[in-house]
Amino acid sequence: MIDHLINIAEQRGTEVKFISTDFEKGEQLYDAFGGIAGILRYSTGV
């Protein structure tokens, strides 16, 4: 499943990063979002 999501993201020019749960912030991210999160940025046309 992860490979499929990565392939879709990369086809659309998205940068994929993995965040380790070996660190406190990574563990917090995992706990809050169940292991998958995204930062979305888009142009407002301004």
pTM: 0.55
**Extents of the domains making up the chain:** 2-33
The pLDDT, as a whole number, for residue 34 is: 85
pLDDT of 1-46, one tens digit each? 889 988 998 899 888 888 899 999 999 999 998 888 888 777 777 6
Specify the pLDDT at position 46.
Answer: 65
3-state secondary structure the chain: CHHHHHHHHHHCCCCCCCCCCCCHHHHHHHHHHCCCCCCCCCCCCC
Q: What tokens appear for 37 in the block? A: 């999160």
Q: What pLDDT is attached to residue 35?
A: 80
Given this model, what pLDDT does residue 1 score? 83
